[in-house]
Structures are given as structure tokens and as C-alpha cells.
């Protein structure tokens, strides 16, 4: 075989030596694929059971570059496997099937597949699978804020790369700082992704929570990998890791937002559409779906295996969240349970219900408070955006909003939610600083405030941050807030709402509507978990919020206001 060591940087031979894991229950295909891949000079491992494949992947965390899997397998649905891999390991996954129906292919893409091959597969199709690996690496690097990372990488692997004249194939990557690398004109084969590859970090729930906490502390607006890294205090983590994760988080938030929007459009019930989806996925799985959507975005590896996928999912691109959220909202609306079952992925919260991470427990059932937030841009006087106003069908509100920001934020513990919620609704308290202004009604979300059970509220508040759309809808939350949120604090919420910049906005930051519908499973849990998502100190938030313009789109635009 090629001389490139498999475990060593394949600087000189990429894509040769690419480590591929093939999963297929059909023995004939398994043999054929193995042979074909070997002919491409790839390092092949075969597996005829999905479970085995997962175990193998988990065992050798960094042992594979790409996974190719069949869709129909006896022990586990290929899509499920796909989700797991995307979440946990963040590896590119290629699906294959003899069935080429558009709906199936669509499903594959939605679940995060980076490609879908139809059987019979020809060798030429396999030859180029390395592009998915490479692309992912490039994006990871590129996503890193501050291009220093590229420099760092260059420095790190600089010797190798430079010597070989490899590096990101002339990508206009942040390579401005490429030091003496001007090999751009050189071989554009692209640097050996392996050398560019950052150590694959497993973003566990705890780690993610630290991350979110740090982000919240810093303030979404001002967030930056270096700052986050410093705050997190995790010695082995690199700036690159954080930057990349930050990017994903942002995407996740924006995805949530989209979902929220989707939810709102679904009409109160929002989730009816989504939830089933999620439901189907099953706890955690649901999120996968949403996550799948994010497939387009980076795959944030969620390390959760368990239903707390939410966390993982949350990480996934924000979009999933949006969906998740939407789903959740609907769920919430439906379920009278207090837990906000945001999208499945986050659903954890619903599942977890009391999961620490996702506080989201909004009793959406009431009316999906989250939705409420959105509509109202101005938290003013609306009842806590959290709108759990169950009566009101918050989801509806969302419709108005266009964006529902990923509520993730809300999810975090909505304990304080009351605050958040009220924030929006702020209607009462006038604390609402001009809704447009930053003040995401939720900002009050005072996370800190242990809203009474209002978890939901907070989330709601969070979400309500509808960008652009005036939270008018959120206002509707008013009625709910009390009901939803632990009701008691509604009053307090209001106060709180304005006191602190709604972190949620920040959280939702991703520009997506801070959908109150925190339904997005994402963020709430992972981030919220132990972290006080809304650690934002009111002050900080406010400032930031302003820029965010809570429930305004701008907020979202502002960037991920990662709570």
C-alpha cells in the first residue's frame, strides 16, 4: 500500500491513506467496497453492523476520517447512525443505498450526510470521497475566528506543509497571515488535512457548558475564542478548538432561529409538524433530525449519546436548533408538561425534563411561550415573553416573528426565566428599554434569577427575541407568563427582564430570532445545563442587547449572542 503511515500525518500522500470505515450489512457489497477503496489507496475498515461501527468509532475516537454507511441495516437505521456519528464524532458520513428516491436522499442530507451514493457504486465515485474530509477541515479552520489559527496551524504543521508545499489548496482562507506560505501557487492539492487537522475535541456536555458559560460571561458581542478559552480554563483546549466550536454554536443558534420561524409558521401548534418528526427520532434522535438539517453546517459533534442529544445537537448548527425549537415549541404547546421539549435534540429537555441543562422546560404546552417572545420585539409590557401563555399559543406568535431565535438560550435554565420572559413582556414594567434596543425582553432573563420554575419562561424569553419582528407577539406572552413561568415570578420577571440584557438575545444571538421558543433543544441543555446561561449580568447584556436589538433581527445579526 502506500507508504503513508496511517496514523501519522499523511502530509505527503493525502488523500492516500484516508481512513475509511464502511458499514453495510450486505456482505457482497462490503467486500466490493473494501476492494474498491483499497484500490484508491485508502485505509479501509469494514463493519457489517451499525452498532459495531459505532462502538468502533467510539473506541478509536480519532481513528477514522470518514464513514460510509448503507441506509438499510437490520440493527439500526442508517440515518440514526448518521446522526450519531455526526454528533459524537463530527466525521463526514456518506450514505449509500440501492434506493434513490428523492425523499430518501433528502432525508439523508437532512440528517447530515455529506453525500448520498446510489448502488451500484462505481469506483470513480469512491475515489473522490476525500474531498468531504478535506472540505470539512478547511471549514473548520476557516471558521476559526481570527485567522491566527491558520497561522498557528501553519506554524504547527508548517514545516511539513511548507516543505511539501501543501496547505489548504489555495483557499482564500484566512491565510492572509500565512507566513511564508505562499505556496498557494504551489500544489493546490491542499495541504494534508491531517496536519491541518486540529486535535479532534470531544465537546462533552460539561465542556460545552463551560463554553457557553464563558460566552455568556463575556457577552456575545464581545466574544472571541481567546477570551472564551481563557475563561473556560481548560488547559488542553486550544484556541482553534474554541473558535471552531464557536462557529458551530453560532450556526446552531441561527438554525434554531429558523426553526422557530418555522414553528411559528406552523401556527400555534407548531410543533405538530415538527414534533412528530422529532418524536420519531426519539429522544435525542429528534434532535438529530434537526441536527441533520444542520448537516449543511458544520456538524457539531454532540457527544451525547443519550437522549440528551440536545446538547449535542445544540451544537450542531444553529439551524437545527431552529427546527428543533420549532418542534419544541410545538411540543410545548402540546404537551402540557412544563418541560419544554424543545426539539428533540434538545428534547432532552423535554425528556430530561428536569435535565439540568435544558431548563427549557417551558410548559409550552401552554402556549409555547417561547413563541411569544418572538413576536414581540418589544418586550414591553408584554407579559413575560415567555409567553407561556399557554393560552395564547405562543407558537403563533412566532409566526409573526420571522425569526425565532434559537431559543437555546432559553433553555438553559429557565429557571430564571421568569425574568426572561417578562422581559419581553415587559409590557408591564416598562423596563423594556425600547424593544428595539437591545433589550431583548429576555435579557432579563436573568438567568441568575431562579425563576421559579419558570424555566420555561426564561426560555421563552429567550426566544422571544425575535429579531425584527416586534415582539408584539411576545407581548401576548403576557398572559402566559404567569402561567407559564412559574407564574409567580412574573412580576419579578418583568422587573428583571429589563434589568439584564436579555442574555437570550445573546444566546440567540445567532441572529436568528431569539425565538422565545426556546424549543430549540439545542443550547438550552448543553449550555444551560450547569451553566447559568444567562449569566449575563444584566448590565453586560443590556449593552449587548442593545446591539442585539432584542427580538430584532439585528440581534441575530449581531452575531451569536451566546448566552
Residue 35 lies near other proteins (rule: CB under 8 A): yes
Which of 106, 123, 155, 199 contacts other proteins by CB under 8 A?
Answer: 123
Among 11, 48, 97, 492, binds other proteins (CB under 8 A): 97
Q: Give the residue, chosen from 8, 27, 55, 354, that forms a contact with other proteins under the rule CB under 8 A.
A: 27
Q: Is 72 in the site for other proteins (CB under 8 A)?
A: yes
Q: What angle do CA 152, 154, 156 make, to 5 degrees?
A: 70
Candidate segments 24-32, 178-186, 276-284, 439-447, binder of other proteins by CB under 8 A? 24-32
Residue carrying C-alpha cell 449593552: 543
- In residues, how long is the chain? 563
Among the listed ranges 33-41, 75-83, 229-237, 252-260, the one in contact with other proteins (CB under 8 A) is: 33-41
Q: Which of 36, 67, 279, 555 binds other proteins (CB under 8 A)?
A: 36
- Written as nine digits, the cell of 57 is 468509532
Residue 29 or 166 having the CB closest to other proteins:
29
Q: With contact defined as beta carbons under 8 Å apart, do 9 and 65 qualify?
A: no
* Contact status: 160 vs other proteins (CB under 8 A): no
Distance of CA 468 to the CA centre of its chain: 22
Going across the sheet that includes 43-47, the strands are 43-47, 19-23, 66-70, 93-97, 115-118
Tell me which H or E stretch contains 21: strand 19-23
Q: Contact with other proteins (CB under 8 A): which of 65, 70, 140, 532? A: 70
Nearer to other proteins, 99 or 163 (CB): 99
Residue with Cβ nearer other proteins (97 or 295): 97
Q: How far is the CB of 136 from other proteins (least distance, A)?
A: 28
Nearer to other proteins, 46 or 458 (CB): 46
60 binds other proteins (CB under 8 A): no
Q: Does 120 bind other proteins (CB under 8 A)?
A: yes
Residue 190 CA, chain-centre distance (Å), reads 28
What is the three-state SS of 477-522? CCHHHHHHCCCCCHHHHHHHHHHCCCHHHHHHCECCCEEECCCCCC
Nearer to other proteins, 116 or 543 (CB): 116
Dihedral pair phi/psi, residue 34, rounded to 5°: -60, -45
Asked if 425 and 477 touch (Cβ cutoff 8 Å), the reply is yes
357 contacts 349 by C-beta, under 8 angstroms: yes
Cell of 291: 441536527
Nearer to other proteins by Cβ, of 103 and 185: the residue is 103
Question: Candidates 25-33, 265-273, 293-301, 369-377 — which segment interacts with other proteins by CB under 8 A?
Answer: 25-33
Using the rule CB under 8 A, is 32 a contact of other proteins? Answer: yes
Strand 19-23 relative to strand 66-70, pairing: parallel
Q: Which is nearer to other proteins, 98 or 106 (CB)?
A: 98
**Distance between CA atoms of residues 8 and 383, nearest Å:** 59
CB of 499 to other proteins, least distance (A): 57
Q: Enumerate binding residues for other proteins (CB under 8 A).
A: 25-29, 31-32, 35-36, 39, 70, 72, 97-99, 119-120, 122-123
Amino acid at each position: 500500500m502506500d507508504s503513508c503511515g496511517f496514523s501519522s500525518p499523511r502530509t505527503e500522500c493525502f488523500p492516500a491513506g484516508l481512513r475509511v470505515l464502511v458499514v453495510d450489512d450486505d456482505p457482497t457489497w462490503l467486500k466490493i467496497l473494501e476492494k474498491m477503496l483499497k484500490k484508491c489507496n485508502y485505509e479501509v475498515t469494514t463493519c457489517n453492523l451499525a452498532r459495531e461501527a459505532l462502538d468502533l468509532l467510539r473506541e478509536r475516537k480519532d481513528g477514522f476520517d470518514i464513514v460510509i454507511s448503507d441506509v438499510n441495516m437490520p440493527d439500526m437505521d442508517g440515518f440514526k447512525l448518521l446522526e450519531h456519528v455526526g454528533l459524537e464524532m463530527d466525521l463526514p458520513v456518506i450514505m449509500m443505498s440501492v434506493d434513490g428516491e428523492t425523499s430518501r436522499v433528502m432525508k439523508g442530507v437532512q440528517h447530515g450526510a455529506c453525500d448520498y451514493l446510489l448502488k451500484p457504486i462505481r469506483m470513480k465515485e469512491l475515489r473522490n470521497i476525500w474531498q468531504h474530509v478535506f472540505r470539512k477541515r478547511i471549514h473548520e479552520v476557516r471558521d476559526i475566528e481570527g485567522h491566527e489559527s491558520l497561522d498557528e496551524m501553519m506554524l504547527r504543521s508548517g514545516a511539513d506543509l511548507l516543505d511539501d508545499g501543501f496547505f489548504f489548496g489555495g483557499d482564500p482562507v484566512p491565510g492572509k497571515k500565512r507566513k511564508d506560505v505562499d505556496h498557494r501557487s504551489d500544489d493546490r492539492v491542499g495541504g494534508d488535512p491531517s496536519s491541518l487537522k486540529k486535535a479532534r475535541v470531544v465537546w462533552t456536555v460539561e465542556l460545552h457548558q463551560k463554553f457557553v458559560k464563558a460566552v455568556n460571561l463575556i457577552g456575545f458581542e464581545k466574544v472571541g475564542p481567546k477570551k472564551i478559552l481563557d475563561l473556560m480554563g481548560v488547559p488542553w483546549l486550544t484556541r482553534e478548538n474554541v473558535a471552531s466550536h464557536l462557529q458551530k454554536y453560532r450556526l446552531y443558534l441561527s438554525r434554531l432561529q429558523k426553526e422557530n420561524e418555522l414553528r411559528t409558521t406552523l401556527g400555534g401548534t407548531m410543533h405538530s409538524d415538527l414534533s412528530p418528526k422529532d418524536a420519531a427520532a426519539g429522544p435525542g434522535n429528534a434532535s438529530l433530525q434537526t441536527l441533520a438539517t444542520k448537516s449543511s453546517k458544520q456538524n457539531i459533534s454532540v457527544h451525547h449519546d443519550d437522549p440528551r442529544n440536545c446538547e449535542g445537537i445544540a451544537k450542531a448548527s444553529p439551524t437545527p436548533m431552529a427546527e428543533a425549537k420549532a418542534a419544541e415549541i410545538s411540543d410545548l404547546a402540546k404537551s402540557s408538561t412544563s418541560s419544554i421539549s424543545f426539539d428533540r435534540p434538545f428534547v432532552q429537555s423535554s425528556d430530561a425534563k428536569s435535565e439540568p441543562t435544558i431548563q427549557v422546560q417551558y410548559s409550552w404546552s401552554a402556549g409555547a411561550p417561547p413563541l411569544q417572545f418572538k413576536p414581540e420585539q418589544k418586550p414591553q409590557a408584554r407579559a413575560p415573553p415567555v409567553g407561556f401563555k399557554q393560552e395564547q399559543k405562543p407558537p403563533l406568535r412566532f409566526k409573526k416573528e420571522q425569526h425565532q431565535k434559537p431559543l437555546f438560550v432559553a433553555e438553559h435554565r429557565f429557571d430564571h426565566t421568569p425574568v426572561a420572559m417578562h422581559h419581553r413582556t415587559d409590557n408591564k414594567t416598562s423596563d423594556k428599554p425600547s424593544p428595539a434596543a437591545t433589550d431583548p425582553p429576555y435579557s432579563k432573563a436573568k438567568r441568575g434569577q431562579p425563576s421559579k420554575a419558570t424555566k420555561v419562561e426564561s426560555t421563552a424569553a429567550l426566544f422571544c427575541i425575535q429579531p425584527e419582528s416586534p415582539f408584539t407577539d411576545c407581548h401576548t406572552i403576557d398572559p402566559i407568563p404567569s402561567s407559564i413561568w412559574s407564574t409567580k415570578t412574573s412580576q419579578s420577571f418583568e422587573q428583571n427582564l429589563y434589568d439584564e440584557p436579555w442574555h437570550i438575545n445573546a444566546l440567540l444571538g445567532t441572529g436568528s430570532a431569539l425565538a422565545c421558543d426556546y424549543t430549540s433543544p439545542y443550547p438550552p441543555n448543553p449550555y444551560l445545563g450547569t451553566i447559568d446561561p444567562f449569566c449575563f449580568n444584566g448590565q453586560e447584556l443590556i449593552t449587548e442587547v442593545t446591539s442585539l436589538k432584542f427580538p430584532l433581527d439585528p440581534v441575530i445579526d449581531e452575531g451569536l449572542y451566546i448566552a
